Amino acid sequence: MNKHSRVCANIDLSAIMHNMEAMHQNIDPNTKIMAVIKADGYGHGAVPIAKEIEHLDYVYGYAAATVEEGMILRNNGIQKPILILGYIFPDQYEEVIQAEICPSVFTLEMAEELSAAAEKVGIDCRMHFAVDTGMSRIGYQVTEEAADEMAQIAKLPHMIVEGIFTHFAKADEYDKTFTKEQIQKFRKMIAMMEDRGVSIPVKHCSNSAGIAEIREANMDMVRAGITLYGLWPSEEVDQNSLDLKPVMELKTHVAYVKDLEAGRAISYGGTFITKRDSRIATIPVGYADGYCRGLSNTGSVLIHGKRAPICGRVCMDQFMVDVTDIPDVKIGDEVTLIGRDGDEVITMEEVGSLSGRFNYEFVCVLGKRIPRVFYRDGKRIASQEYFDEE
């Protein structure tokens, strides 16, 4: 067994490219794509994914949530624009400007401090306005007063308004009424800015659900998040709208096999009792790896192309499955936690639903004890070791 036998996340970079092209074909030809690779690329590995798509002419750049995420990209040679979607602490302003990372601006005070920081370091600050059209999170409200303040910011020294964006709250629902109202509000804000003599080059509002179903929201750029990784924003989004391929599969191996008589309790609390003489396999993965406890007594894994149900509670580092009906299971056999084995498949959506989470959360919390192993065209090309001693 190789060094990744305990558990590893296999990342298919060819699937990343496939999904990028599927999204590109579904939007206006002149609309650019911003790849949302916050949270370490939704747990898939931000840097390798950014490097894989950096050469595409329709990739405008990347979106991150924090300065630290943006700096990791810059420090690993990523050249295209990086937008920080969230809050930035004032003591990070100079670092952001020097790295040519774009902040999201939503207060005059923030803009004035960025302007001063830009003058100090001698580099202009390229920024995007954040507009709140219904998410009620961060961003300017769609009012004349807000437009006045934004126009004032546009005149500050060393401040270059590169973009303006909003975020959809309900685009992944069947009913698109609220989303269309958000689009109208966003267009109104853009018009108010133009009335004040502020022309903004990059206007963007569409997220993954918008890319799939709302062409009128394309504008200059769209932000591709969950669909980049071959996953769906929700079950209400038309899954025929895009030809997506899941990027991640999660693999491990059988650590132990034992025979138990009927009436034996398994795992903490004895929540599972064998109803027959049973063959039980131990899997060396647990909630410390992000394989959450909510899958206790509900989830299953694939061994030899067949489903093996989870028995009892998922522990911190291990859990047990019933392999009574799967012949010849032995220590070292491959176990699929997420992905395909023969005709059977376990999707991220399935484990997300069964665990009481959802697919976004499940991939984002996969632990750093799990190496990410990257493949292109079926060939292993790299791995990301979070606990490598070298």
Secondary structure (DSSP) of 198-242:
---SEEEEE-HHHHHH-GGG-TTEEEE-GGGGT--S-TTS-TTSS
**Cα 194–chain centre separation:** 34
CA dist 39 to 52, 67, 228, Å?
Answer: 17, 12, 14
- Please tell me the number of Cα atoms within 13 Å of 308 on its side-chain side: 32
Is 137 annotated as a binding-site member?
yes
d(CA 150, CA 193): 8
Q: Which residues are catalytic?
A: 38, 268
Sequence-ordered list of residues with C-beta below 8 angstroms from that of 177, at least 6 positions apart, any chain: none
Going by the DSSP 8-state scheme, the letter that residue 76 receives in this structure is T
Tokens 């059209």 — which residue? 133
Q: Are the beta carbons of 47 and 78 closer than 8 angstroms? A: yes
User: 265-266 and 159-165 as β-strands: parallel, antiparallel, unpaired?
Assistant: unpaired
> How many residues does the structure list for the chain?
390
Is 223 annotated as a binding-site member?
no
Nearest to 114 by CA among 139, 130, 95: 95
CA dist 292 to 61, 288, 311, 319, 336, Å?
Answer: 33, 8, 14, 11, 15
Structure tokens that stand for 10 in this block = 């296999």
Nearest to 47 by CA among 21, 78, 23: 78
Annotated binding site: 137, 316
Annotated binding site for substrate: 137, 316
